[in-house]
Amino acid sequence: MTAPAGTASRIDALRQTVEQALDRALPSRSVWPATIHEAVRYSLFAGGKRIRPLLTLAAGEAVGGHAADVMPLACAVEMIHTYSLIHDDLPAMDDDDLRRGKPTCHKVFGEAIAILAGDALLTRAFHHMAALPAGESAAIAVRRLRAIQVLGEACGTSGLIGGQVMDLQSEGKAVDATELEGIHRAKTGALLSACVRGGAVLGGASAADEDRLSGYASAVGLAFQIVDDILDATEGAEQLGKTAGKDAAREKATYVRIHGLERSRAMARDLLSAALAALGPFGARATLLSELARLIVERRA
């Protein structure tokens, strides 16, 4: 499966639409109390690649949905991703000074505001999902509620938060391959899966289509984390925009540490193949999803 010419520029155009939607979804910097909105926007508009919103929109497209129906979740998942980065970077957690090539939120605004900025993004994500335009049908409300449930599950203690807890607790300990996969499925995979599943729900997917996309989401989610580990081990801070070699320094469990570099690369390639195979039944409507899987596995930062 080769991406048709023009897919890359479609992704760029969609990314622009996401930027604009995110901008509209949040209070401006000048709204009182200004500090918190400055901090929220500092981290949300720090040059993220918007992989999660793109996956969400692409899943909606694969099931024949309208982009406008899916966009609220596309914005919400990026808010949640950003909240998790802000909180993970805090001194009490991973204690990181650099993120996407810029000082982390707490380095610029202080710890108290950084904690609150994360809280604000998490809150806004759910609030934004619940904001239904006047005159929207009850059927759309039901889909929104289901998407909120998918999102909430992914962000909770069996997903994003649970993964961070396990990650913190695994530092300096021997972690086997099964435990490592469990950590990553929770910490990274759950939210990526929620993008795909939630995008499908808002796009009006059948139960069968939702199931089919779960296979794709699961493979892409794991591949994403393996590539992350490979990049941490092989790229410099300048390229990554964050502290490099950090995993090894903190003795964190990583794929590279457990499986070695070459085996990790092979695993990522196999997962890409599995993801693309799961998209077969969707034909051309899944062009974006397949291109995004490729972007995720072949990325350099």
Instruction: Write out the residues near its own copies by the rule CB under 8 A.
Output: 27, 31-33, 35-37, 40, 83, 87, 90, 92-93, 110-113, 115-116, 118-120, 122-124, 126-132, 138-139, 141-142, 144-146, 148-149, 151-153, 155-158, 161-162, 164-166, 168-169
Are 293 and 269 spatial neighbours (Cβ–Cβ below 8 Å)?
no
282: DSSP letter: G
The three-state secondary structure class of 207 is helix
Least separation in angstroms between CB 125 and its own copies: 9
Are 54 and 75 spatial neighbours (Cβ–Cβ below 8 Å)?
no
- Nearer to its own copies among residue 9 and residue 32 (C-beta): 32
Are 268 and 297 spatial neighbours (Cβ–Cβ below 8 Å)?
yes
Least separation in angstroms between CB 32 and its own copies: 8
- Nearer to its own copies among residue 157 and residue 206 (C-beta): 157
- Nearer to its own copies among residue 158 and residue 206 (C-beta): 158
- Nearer to its own copies among residue 132 and residue 266 (C-beta): 132
CA dist 295 → 182, 189, 300 (Å): 24, 16, 9
**Orientation of helix 190-202 relative to helix 160-170, angle to 10°:** 170
Least separation in angstroms between CB 168 and its own copies: 6
DSSP string, 223-260: HHHHHHHHHHHHS-HHHHTS-SSHHHHTT---HHHHH-
Least separation in angstroms between CB 137 and its own copies: 9
Least separation in angstroms between CB 246 and its own copies: 16
